[in-house]
Amino acid sequence: MLLINASKSDLKNEVFPSQIRERIDEPTNFPPSDTSPAPERVVGSRHVAQAKSCTQQRTARAEHRTDEPTTFLEPGIIGVLVSGGDCAGLNALVRAIVLHAVKSYNWRVIGIKRGFPGIWSRPMQTMDLTPEVCNNLWQTSGGIFLGSNKNASLSKAAGDGKALADLQEAFVAGYNALGLDALIVVGGDGSFAQLAEISDYGSPASQPERRPNIIAIPKTIDNDVPYTDLAIGHETALDVIVEAIDKLQTTAESHDRVIVVEVMGKDAGHIALKSGIAAGADAILIPEIPYDIEALAAHIKAILQNWKKYAIVVVAESVKTPQGEAKVRTIGADEQTRYYGVGEHIAFCLKSRLPAEVRSVTLGHVQRGGGPRAGDRLLAAKLGVAAVDFIRRGEFGRVLCTVNGEIIGVALGDVVGKTKIVEKESELVRAAVALGIYIGA
């Protein structure tokens, strides 16, 4: 088994999903063999189950759920909280959780508003979620009705005078005050890191008796959460980007222009690579693969001279400039940084090297907006139902990951601190090269 620790700083060292994939089958902190003890089951109160390996879970499913517990956690109250950047499919996910929890098990569902501060601040911000509230429009709508919070970093809160211990205490106190039996946290890598810290799942010296019962669900248009093939929001964002590039292709052709399109993708190029191939881009730059500006220019020049008079270059926001700098800008009063502007910079670099007008377009938050396409609605339905069933079986501290269409629970501590990045040897990279798309070297 290959152990990885794909933290952001490791990205330069090219730790790729094939390595992560090996890790899926044998997470280190799961009991190693079938002889491990069966999960402890507790009815109606807080509880920490011993995790089984993913392989064990899969085998058990194949064997007609022979490990189904004889007692279940019910009835109770579950909370739902969304943290981090929004995306399409979140309302559909909350609706699926509510419908299954209420209609199948007669549970009550409480929505926590605006992310972690909704439960650690006083007064807490909550709303009752019923099937009447979560009507069918939740299936079709974009954004997240509960609200989310992108700036709820623990370090920021600590900077406001609250120590981590205070936040942990407020979080657990909020959980208890609401009478929750479990809390579903929907988020991406940053939110899971906060969750692990605040709920004490991540720390080696964790105290199980203090931990709330947590289930985590990955959502991010970046699709960079490890172990899962898909996070909610990714597929819809791809559709939105492809539609936008389709439009840019026609106007680029009309005016014989080269258009550089900057897309999101914080430290991972999944969005750029997939949308670029799907939209027929001529070059795709992603942070995982170094590029050479002269080689890029020569590639586009050859296209303009020998094939067509226009070209599209897709650039992930986290690609570095030819000089090796990350292009960022600061936002908000607390001056957080966000990637922005590398597309414009590359367009500027290409201008002097090409015999055509070069323009740039940054798609920005358009990529996260709008209602979910069918793929994300289906993923939301599966994950929402699975989350409720994990809770009912008393299996906590898991991130629900989709692997070849099947949902498995990976230990939260295993997911935290890692990023799933594009594998250089992947089929998609090979396809891009085979289609004559410049992708670096």
Residues in contact with ligand F6P by CB under 6 A are 85, 150, 188, 220-222, 264-266, 317, 338-339, 368
Half-sphere exposure of residue 31: CA atoms within 13 angstroms, side-chain side: 13
Separation between Cα atoms, residue 282 and residue 404, nearest integer Å: 30
Residue 66, judged by CB atoms within 10 A of its CB (0-12, 13-18, 19+), counts as exposed
Helix runs in 178-287, H state only: 189-199, 234-254, 270-279
- Looking at the Cβ atoms of 49 and 232, the one nearer to ligand F6P is 232
- Looking at the Cβ atoms of 150 and 301, the one nearer to ligand F6P is 150
CB of 153 to ligand F6P, least distance (A): 11
Q: Which residues of 285-297 are buried (b: 16+ CB within 10 A; e: fewer)?
A: bbbbbebeeeebb
The structure tokens listed for 416 are 């935290």
- Looking at the Cβ atoms of 271 and 297, the one nearer to ligand F6P is 271
Separation between Cα atoms, residue 251 and residue 155, nearest integer Å: 45
CB of 333 to ligand F6P, least distance (A): 14
The dihedrals phi and psi of 412, each to the nearest 5 degrees, come to -55, -45
CB 300 within 8 A of CB 259: no
The structure tokens listed for 178 are 């609401």
Which residues partner with 187 through β-bridges?
A: 218
- Residue among 83, 90, 80, 135 at smallest CA distance from 371: 90
- Looking at the Cβ atoms of 24 and 221, the one nearer to ligand F6P is 221
- Looking at the Cβ atoms of 141 and 220, the one nearer to ligand F6P is 220
Separation between Cα atoms, residue 363 and residue 263, nearest integer Å: 6
- Looking at the Cβ atoms of 150 and 351, the one nearer to ligand F6P is 150
CB of 332 to ligand F6P, least distance (A): 9
Question: Which of the following is catalytic: 222, 239, 267, 376?
Answer: 222
Which residues partner with 311 through β-bridges?
A: 258
- Bond prior to 75 in cis (omega within 30° of 0): yes
- Looking at the Cβ atoms of 230 and 408, the one nearer to ligand F6P is 230
CB of 268 to ligand F6P, least distance (A): 9
Separation between Cα atoms, residue 51 and residue 411, nearest integer Å: 8
The structure tokens listed for 46 are 């807080």
CB of 188 to ligand F6P, least distance (A): 6
Q: Which residue is nearest to ligand F6P (CB)?
A: 264
Is position 222 annotated as part of the catalytic site? yes
Separation between Cα atoms, residue 420 and residue 276, nearest integer Å: 19
CB of 194 to ligand F6P, least distance (A): 14
CB of 320 to ligand F6P, least distance (A): 15
Separation between Cα atoms, residue 273 and residue 224, nearest integer Å: 13
Separation between Cα atoms, residue 377 and residue 380, nearest integer Å: 5
Catalytic annotation, residues: 222
